[in-house]
Amino acid sequence: MAGGGLPEDVADELQALQAIYCGDGEFCMLSEPDARVPMFCVSTKCRGLHDTISLSASFTLPEGYPRVHPDISLSSASLSRCAISRLKQELSTHARTLPEAPMVLQLMTWLEEHIPETEQATEVCSTTPKQCSSQREVQEDLWLTLLHLDHMRARGKYVKTIVKWTKELSLTGRLLFQERLILILLLGSLQNIKEYITRQRTRSVDVDSAGRSCKERMLTVLWEEKVQEGAVRFPQFEVVECRTVDQLKEQFTGTVLARVYREHVCSLMLK
């Protein structure tokens, strides 16, 4: 159990983890119950490509947690050293995107969801260098996506969150406002665009009519397509307030963007 000297939210998190991972050997405290720096291990299983994968994650919660991220060690007899290294690196990157709140349960959920795809990626890359190089090239293809938002109530907070996420995910593009119309153009890797959309749909980004934090329920993907290098250029992500329809149209210059405007934006303005 959590020690009495721990912050209440951290103590609550430890109790929740013990309740969720209550099977034999799933949760184990590695430090004394009243330690100022809790250390514990969580073991989990998930279905892999060929068999069930067992993985243990050891966490050390430093003083200052959750403002300071936990130290994490992963071990698994089911995964290669390459897969474990890749998984730990991606988990650490994911941890940096989370708010400063107890996060171990979210990290465990992320692990359980991403173990199979990490296993698949490392298995493909372990075949031949040529295949691995080809996979990296696919991952680096440029994609362009157009999103539509129905509304923003807490506009200042919402815009800051969008800008922050695009920076973290190395996405460029535009957040466009034209009267009540709100559009987002994203340019970058397909994986990072998908991660952006997942964040916007699953995290609290706005407030409801009662002023309570809420998730985005009315985000629509209008269009997405792989584009040739240089066909669309956005040096950075910018927020643009368009006073007129003509100013909005000016944001869609070039062959690809002009087609997107004709086929997807014009119809929105008629509604």
Q: Where are the domains of the chain?
A: 8-135, 140-269
Sorting pLDDT into bands at 50, 70 and 90, what band is 168?
confident
Higher pLDDT, 66 or 203: 66
Which pLDDT value is given to residue 253?
93
Q: Round to whole Å and give the CA distance between 146 and 262.
A: 13
Which pLDDT value is given to residue 259?
94
Q: What is the dihedral of CA 48, 51, 52, 57, to 10 degrees?
A: -60
Residue range 18-35: mean pLDDT, rounded: 84
Which pLDDT value is given to residue 210?
62
Which pLDDT value is given to residue 13?
92
Q: pLDDT of 56-110, one tens digit each?
A: 898 999 989 998 999 998 888 878 888 888 888 889 888 888 888 999 999 999 9
E-only strand ranges, 114-209: 142-149, 172-178, 181-188, 204-207
Residue 4 pLDDT exceeds 60: no
Burial of 211 (0-12, 13-18, 19+ CB in 10 A): exposed
Axis-axis angle for helices 104-125, 8-20 (nearest 10) = 60
Fold of the CATH domain 8-135: Ubiquitin Conjugating Enzyme (3.10.110)
Instruction: Find, among 54, 62, 61, the residue nearest to 13 by Cα.
Output: 61
Query: Which residue do the tokens 């940096």 mark?
Result: 96
Which pLDDT value is given to residue 215?
57
Higher pLDDT, 257 or 213: 257
Q: Are 115 and 71 in contact (CB under 8 A)?
A: no
Residue 150's contacts (CB-CB under 8 Å, 6 or more residues apart) are 182, 218, 220
Sorting pLDDT into bands at 50, 70 and 90, what band is 206?
low
Fold of the CATH domain 140-269: Alpha-Beta Plaits (3.30.70)
Instruction: Find, among 47, 31, 51, the residue nearest to 39 by Cα.
Output: 31
Q: Are 229 and 167 in contact (CB under 8 A)?
A: no
Which pLDDT value is given to residue 216?
62
Using CA of residue 215, residue 165, residue 103, residue 76, what is the dihedral sign? positive
Comparing 31-35, 46-50, 60-64, 109-113, the range with the smallest average pLDDT is 46-50
